Structure 1
Amino acid sequence: MQLRENGSVNLPMIPLVLLLAFGIDQGSDYRQTELQWRQGVAEALKAEEGWLSVAGLHWLAEGETTFGTAASNGFVLPPGSGPDKAGTLTFRDGKLHLILNTGVEARIDGKPVSEADLRLDEEGKPTKVKIGSLTLTAIKRGGRTGIRVYDAKSEGLLRFEGLHWYEVDPAFRIRAKYVAYEKPKEIAITNVLGDVSPASNPGYVQFKLKGKTVRLEAQGAGDGLFFNFKDATNGEATYPAGRFLDTEGPKDGFVTLDFNRAYNPPCAFTAFATCPLAPSVNHLSVAIPAGEKNYHLVDHGSART
């Protein structure tokens, strides 16, 4: 299970096979099944490369950038996590090359390396450079290329005491009518950096909630659907920027929306994510007091600039 960062399909979401694994069994206790699913969300966040492990995001300028724990480096690794001067990253013409300083121990795919070309995440599976408790990966967002740093001893992991959820309420498991567009549309998605990118919009769902007709535009996500939405709980009770919801694909013209599984984007847990914001068409006036509540331990500051 891995939580989605980006509204485009080139980054993984919670896989549907896991949604099904924690799905509704007609012979099971609904509340217990939901609690098990929520535990899976927490475990994903605590994973070696989960969002609680993220300890840095450094955008690269064209040319050479040194890195290490010393303040004199082009980008600085978490204190005590590695060598003062670990090496140099060279970024030219969209390509990224790593050279490590003598004596620095690092591995890629379990093999020792002293230098290597690094694959960006937009190219598929990004290269993972392991240095002690750290993992470095290269990402591209809009016109920016950067290095994301994961730390198995991160402050986020050490401070984590669990997630906060509304009580499971079957009333918020809703059978919604699905309307497919004759031809899939594109919806403009803006991320927290201000980058705008198109996302596939195959249709929308419509349902009644508290006497109001509610409509949500869907994004395609493999065989399922993805909803990025805001509602009247956003602010103090739930994450201000909105929440995510994954569903199975439509069956017989309907989609089951289980808002008990509405979950926070990665930006709720780290200042070093680049999450998509809910499109304005998915800003709801109605409150949906179900699913995950706000997580208050992150100071975003200017980490993404």
Structure 2
Amino acid sequence: MRAVLTLVLLAMCTFGFGQEKFDMMAVQKFQKELNTEYADAKTSPLNTEDLAKFKSLDFYPINEKAFVVAKFIRTKDEKPFKMPASGSIKQIYVKYGEAHFVMDGKELKLNIYRNIELSKREEYKDHLFLPFSDLTSGKESYIGGKYIDLKIPAGNTIVIDFNLSYNPYCAYSHNYSCPKVPLENDLAIEIKAGVKKFHN
């Protein structure tokens, strides 16, 4: 179990925090660091065969329109729950807030969560978890949706850069137990940004 938790923690990298304007260099850094993580046998979720021939993840072209500053609504008095997962290991989360934004002329909402156990660690005390799926899921991107790491905002807005979205480890191996995207975070639009589905 410790190994699985360690890998989960490694996956939760805090890229792009603190930016209020689109930052292409931050996205490029994210892509480079993700590729470095996946190329390293000590941190990679890839199996031995895929790791041996790994060169790079497949990313969508960097898309400035996939960067949004959303209205953040803090939701209080939410009850912690076990988020459904692809495997037997289910982690405890609590709904922390909602992000409201407009993309492609559509008003959208995403729920944002906090991992209870992870938040007890000093380095993750401000960490928030945003799982989502969209109309590219199962086509160009992973069928199970993607994740974005966020930071607790100081005010009533929160930056979401979908260019920083990445696949759950389950997209690369069935050996992991990954949180499933809640139905309320399934968006009825295409978001062509972030990591595409993995081709081994």
Q: How does 1:132-147 map to 2 (within 5 A)?
A: none
Q: Are 2:117 and 1:214 aligned?
A: no
Residues 90-121 of structure 1, C-alpha deviation per residue, up to 9 Å, x if partnerless?
A: xxxxxxxxxxxxxxxxxxxxxxxxxxxxxxxx
- The CA deviation string for residues 156-203 of structure 1, in whole angstroms up to 9 with x for no partner, is 210212111111111111000111112233354211126655412111
Q: Deviations over 1:14-49 (max 9, x none)?
A: 343x545xx7597xx932331121110111122232
Give the number of the structure whose residues are more often helix, by fraction. 2
CA contact (8 A) 1:164 1:293 kept: yes
Question: What RMSD over aligned residues (CA atoms) do the two structures have, in Å?
Answer: 2.6
Residue 256 of structure 1 is matched in structure 2 by: 159
Partner of residue 291, structure 1:
194
Question: Share of identical aligned residues, percent?
Answer: 23
Higher relative contact order (CA 8 A, sep 6+): 2
Structure 2 CA distance, aligned partners of 1:25 and 1:232?
A: 26
Report if the CA contact (8 A) 1:51-1:269 is conserved.
no
Within the alignment, does 1:191 sit opposite 2:85 as a pair?
Answer: yes
1:245 aligns with 2:142: no
Give 1 or 2: higher strand fraction. Answer: 1
Q: Secondary structure at the match of 1:35?
A: helix
Of 25, 37, 42, the residue aligned with 2:30 is: 37
Q: Letter of the aligned partner of 2:61 in structure 1?
A: E
Q: How does 1:100-179 map to 2 (within 5 A)?
A: 154-179=48-73
Ranges in structure 2 where 5+ consecutive residues have no aligned partner: 116-124
Distance in 1 (alpha carbons) for counterparts of 2:104 and 2:20: 27
Counterpart Cα distance in 1 of 2:93 and 2:157: 22
Gaps of 5+ in 1: 55-153, 298-305
Tell me which amino acid in the other structure corresponds to 1:14.
Answer: M
CA contact (8 A) 2:16 2:26 kept: no
Provide Cα deviations, 1:250-282, integer angstroms capped at 9, x if missing partner. Answer: 132111000010111111122321111101111
What does residue 136 of structure 2 align with? 233
More deviation, 234-243/38-47: 38-47
**Distance (whole Å) between structure 2 residues aligned to residue 53 and residue 172 of structure 1:** 27
Using the size of structure 2 for normalisation, the TM-score is 0.82
2:75 to 165, 181, 188: 181
Q: Is the 8 A contact 1:185 1:202 kept in 2?
A: no
